[in-house]
Structure 1
Amino acid sequence: MSHDQNGASAPNAEADFAEAMKELARGERTASALESHLDSLEKKIEELLAQAEKAEKDMQTGASTSEKPSSQGQPESS
């Protein structure tokens, strides 16, 4: 590393540092975009779960209120 002593690699070091900073900034933008997409997916999943829970409750209350005593115990016709 004799180039480090006379300063010949200093421009390369600065260029490497600048490139690293550009890559870091690009990575930060990518991370922000991914986080935004994940937040959107999480919101949709929560909405779907709420709908599924509501539908399950509706089915349970519908099944318990629509049971007919006359249909119990009778064989199914084929």
Structure 2
Amino acid sequence: MRRGEQPPWIVSDELWAEIAPLLPPRPPRRRRFPGRKPLDDRKVLCGILFVLYTAIPWEYLPQELGFGSE
């Protein structure tokens, strides 16, 4: 990666504009037993791309990059 270049796991606005309509809509959360709050789809995709690019195990995904749950 060159200086000033965007890391390859960051999804650009143009690419996200093409991907977002392909994702299924989220079902509404249940009132009783709502479970975890959903994560941002774009952030999840960036985390997946980071793991594929770096070939690290999913468990070692760095939380400080903002990929982990809040």
TM-score above 0.5: no
More helix as a share of residues = 1
Q: 1 or 2 for the larger relative contact order (CA 8 Å, sep ≥6)? A: 2
| TM-score under structure 1 length normalisation | 0.22
| TM-score under structure 2 length normalisation | 0.24
The higher radius of gyration belongs to 1
